Amino acid sequence: MIKKVLHTHPKAFIVCFALILSSCSDDVETPKVVTITEFSPSIGIVGETVIVTGTNFSTTASDNVVKFNGATATVTEATATQLTLTVPADATSGKITVTTNGNTIESTSDFTVPAPTLAGFNPAIAGTGVPVTITGTNFSSSAENNIIKINGVAASITSASPTQLIATVPAGASTGSITVDVGANKATSANTIEICNNAELMMGGVSILNQPNATSYALSMKIINLGSVPVDVTKILIQNYASTDEVLGNDVASGGYFLTQGPTALLPGQSYSMVNYMFNVGSGKNTTTHPYAVITMSVPGGSITECHTEDNIVFKHFN
């Protein structure tokens, strides 16, 4: 048998090899350069939304890794030119970086995470379960992004805005400073809040209206229990008169009316309002010896134990 051998021309082999190389090189894509052109806003607190614009981002949100000074953020939306994300809880001021397909780019300017400030709080004395309103700046509008502690004990937050937080005094809290943590930043109150483990009554909006009958008047006011234990409001005494000398000497007459219409258990943080509560003056509201109505916030003999009693008397002139 005769075998026939076919010979390939050397030039044809070279051309074929070149074509193969050319075809392989076309299949390898050159990585696209990721850029950051800007981000907005440039200042923000934990939980706020930030939009980063640039080029060559992945359109799959999870394929973009964005960090605020090293703290990883959650990307919620993504296009090739824009990323929408949330400032992470541990963010601090610094550069923003974006990593996509193994390429990392850093912003030329810093993103600022402002620290919270604590301007004040109200009330200054409160018991377990009583709400406290804290005012300041740079709080998170999401309650979970703020941490409030009263002398080191964490309090639950019921309301949050950038300038106001409302928290409930927790069990185990003691007298001390209030701190507010927003992410990695902290603010501490200049004053201390006093924790009351007894009752603590406060009056507000006290007014007395003269009635056509010269021997009667109508009382309106609100009573708030800021302490830690319930109070029987029906045992609070309303004096029906006091002389000028008694007012000046802070020595109240013993006669008066109990608030029999009030609740028998005013709980911590609760309030009781009365409008036009009628009382008789007795000897006449325009007499020189008894020109004042007096409201006392405790039972004669001190059977309502309070943390403070110096603000338990209000004098109102009848004229």
The identity of residue 161, as a single letter, is S
- Tell me which DSSP letter residue 169 carries: P
Residues 225 and 266 sit within 8 Å (Cβ to Cβ):
yes
Give the model's confidence band at 317: pLDDT under 50 very low, under 70 low, under 90 confident, else very high.
low
Report pLDDT for 3.
45
Categorize the per-residue pLDDT at 284 as very low, low, confident or very high, splitting at 50, 70 and 90: very low
Per-residue buried b or exposed e for 138-174, using 16+ beta carbons within 10 Å of the residue's own CB:
bbbeebebbbbbbeeeebebeebeeeebbbbbbeebe
In 3-state terms, what secondary structure has residue 21?
A: helix
Q: pLDDT grade, residue 30 (50/70/90)?
A: low
Phi, psi of 251, rounded to the nearest 5 degrees: -115, 110
Alpha-carbon span 150 to 107, nearest angstrom: 39
The residues that bridge with 51 in the sheet, in sequence order, are 40, 84
**H helices then E strands: how many in the chain?**
2, 23
Is the pLDDT at 186 greater than 80, yes or no?
A: yes
Strand 185-195, strand 125-126: pairing: parallel
* Residue 10, pLDDT score: 52
**Contact partners, residue 156, CB within 8 Å, separation at least 6:** 167, 168, 170
Choose between 44 and 218: higher pLDDT.
44
43 pLDDT above the threshold of 80: yes
pLDDT number for residue 2: 42
Closest C-alpha to 184, from 42, 31, 46: 46
pLDDT tens digit sequence for 216-269: 677 788 989 999 999 888 877 776 566 555 554 545 555 667 777 788 899 999
Average predicted confidence (pLDDT) for the chain: 82
Q: What are 166's strand-pairing partners?
A: 133, 159
268 within 8 A of 196, measured Cβ to Cβ: no
Percentage of the residues of the chain whose pLDDT score is greater than 70: 73
Per-residue pLDDT tens digits for 79-128: 999 999 999 989 999 999 999 988 999 999 999 999 999 999 999 999 99
Which residues are CB-contacts of 30 (< 8 A; sequence separation ≥ 6)?
Answer: none
Phi-psi region of 196 (alpha: psi -120 to 50; beta: other; left: phi over 0): beta
Lowest mean pLDDT among 24-28, 137-141, 151-155: 24-28
